[in-house]
Amino acid sequence: MTITASMVKELREATGAGMMDAKKALVEQGGDFDAAVDFLRKKGMAKAEKKAGRVASEGLVFTKTTGSKGVVVEVNAETDFVAKNETFQAFVAKVADIILETGATDVETIKAQTYEGSTNVGDKLVELVAKIGENMSIRRAEILEVSGGTVNAYVHAGGKIGVLVGLEGTGEKVEEVARHVAMHIAASNPQFMDRASVDPAVIAKEKDVYMEQAKNSGKPENIIEKIVEGRINKFCEEICLVDQAFVMDTDRKVGQVVTDAGAKLAGYTRFALGEGIEKKEEDFAAEVAKTMAS
C-alpha cells in the first residue's frame, strides 16, 4: 500500500510523533492507521520508561472550583519550561475536570479514569511524556467541599502555589473573603487551621524548649509559667490560620475577618510545587555538553 503525505500528516497530528517515526509506523503496519497508532504508543511507552527515573520537581499546581466544591492537583515535570507548554497545561486542566467529576484523588485511581474516549489518564500521560520528552507524574490531588457555602481558590506565580479555601455562609462578601483568605494562606503557609487542630506533640515539644529557656533565666517558678504560656500563645498565633494577622489588614486576625463576613472557616488546602521532593543538583554546563553529545 502506498503511504501518502496526508496519511503521515494525520498520524503525526494524532500522536505527536516525528515525521520519520510516523512514516515508519505506517509502512510497518501496512497503512493501517489504528495499528500505526498502537505501534507509536508502544514506542512512546518505551521512551517514557527510560525517563521515569529522572527527578520531576517542576510542573504545575492547578485549581478549579465549582461553587461549593474545588480541586487542587499537582502534576510534575523535569523543567519549568514544561509548565508553560499549552499541551501540558491542557492535560492538567483536563485531569482537574476528571477529578471533580469522579471524586478520585488517589493517584492510581486518577490514572485509571477515562480520558476523552477509549484511553485513560495514565496512558495519556505516557503519550505526553513521549511527545514532550520529559519525565512527568501526577503527584497528588485533593478535593474540598462545603455545605451551604463556597470554595474559592488562588494560584500564585503561575502555578507554583495553589490554595483552596472553604467557607460556610451565604453573605454577599463570603466569596470575596474566601479568595482573600486563600491569598493569605499562599503567603503565610499556616500549619494548622486552629488551635484544636494542632498536634499535642508539637505543643509539648515547644513547651519543653520554652520551659528550659525560662529556667535558665533564673526567674521564679510562677513567672516562668506565665512566660511559657505567653510564648505558646505567640507560637499558636504564628502557625494557626485563624489566629494569624490577616495580610491585607494586620489589625485583624483571619478568624475575625471570616466572622465579620458572616461566615465560618470549613477547611483549606495548600499545595506548593515540588515541596518534599528531593531535587537533584546538576552541573548545568555538563548537562548541556551531555545533551549536545547525544
Task: Indicate the domain borders of the chain.
Answer: 5-51, 53-145
Look up residue 125 and give its three cell numbers: 500521560
pLDDT of residue 44: 59
Q: How confident is the model at residue 54 (pLDDT cuts 50, 70, 90)?
A: low
**How high is the pLDDT of residue 42?**
63
What is d(CA 41, CA 118) in angstroms, rounded to the nearest whole number? 14
The more confident residue out of 57 and 208 is 208
Among the listed ranges 38-52, 99-113, 151-165, 234-248, which one has the minimum average pLDDT value? 38-52
Confidence (pLDDT) at 206: 92
Residue 51, C-beta contacts closer than 8 angstroms, at least 6 positions apart: 129, 133, 134, 135
CB 181 within 8 A of CB 258: yes
Average pLDDT over the chain reads: 88
State the residue for C-alpha cell 549536545. 292
More confident residue, 46 or 144: 144
Instruction: Provide the whole-model pTM.
Output: 0.75
CB 181 within 8 A of CB 165: yes
Mean pLDDT of 65-75: 97
245-246 vs 249-253, strand pairing mode: antiparallel
In 10 A of CB 226, how many CB atoms?
Answer: 12
| Cα–Cα distance measured from residue 38 to residue 35, given in angstroms and rounded to the nearest whole number | 5
For 178, the grid coordinates are 474566601
C-alpha cell read off for 47:
521512551
Instruction: Tell me what pLDDT residue 212 has.
Output: 86
Domain spanning 5-51, CATH architecture: Orthogonal Bundle (1.10)
| Neighbour count for residue 180 (Cβ, 10 Å) | 22
Quote the CA–CA distance of 214 and 218 in Å, as a whole number: 7
Q: Is the pLDDT of residue 184 over 90?
A: yes
Residue 10 CA to residue 91 CA, distance in Å, equals 21
Residue 154 has pLDDT above 50, yes or no: yes
CATH number belonging to domain 53-145: 3.30.479.20
Residue pLDDT, tens place only, 215-260 = 888 888 889 989 999 999 999 999 999 999 999 999 999 999 999 9
In this prediction, residue 292 carries a pLDDT of 40
pLDDT average, residue stretch 10-19: 74
Q: How confident is the model at residue 179, as a pLDDT?
A: 96
Name the residue with cell 453573605.
171
Residue with cell string 484544636: 196
Whether residue 45 is predicted with pLDDT greater than 50 in this model: the reply is no
**Structural element, H or E, at residue 264:** strand 264-272
Q: Which helix (H) or strand (E) holds 181?
A: helix 174-188
Checking if the pLDDT of 279 tops 70, the result is no
Contact in structure between 90 and 60 (CB atoms under 8 Å): no
pLDDT > 70 in the chain, percent: 88
133: left (phi over 0), alpha (psi -120 to 50) or beta: left
Among residues 198, 55, 204, 214, which one has the least CA distance to residue 137? 55
C-alpha cell at 115: 480520558
Label residue 278 by pLDDT band (50, 70, 90): low
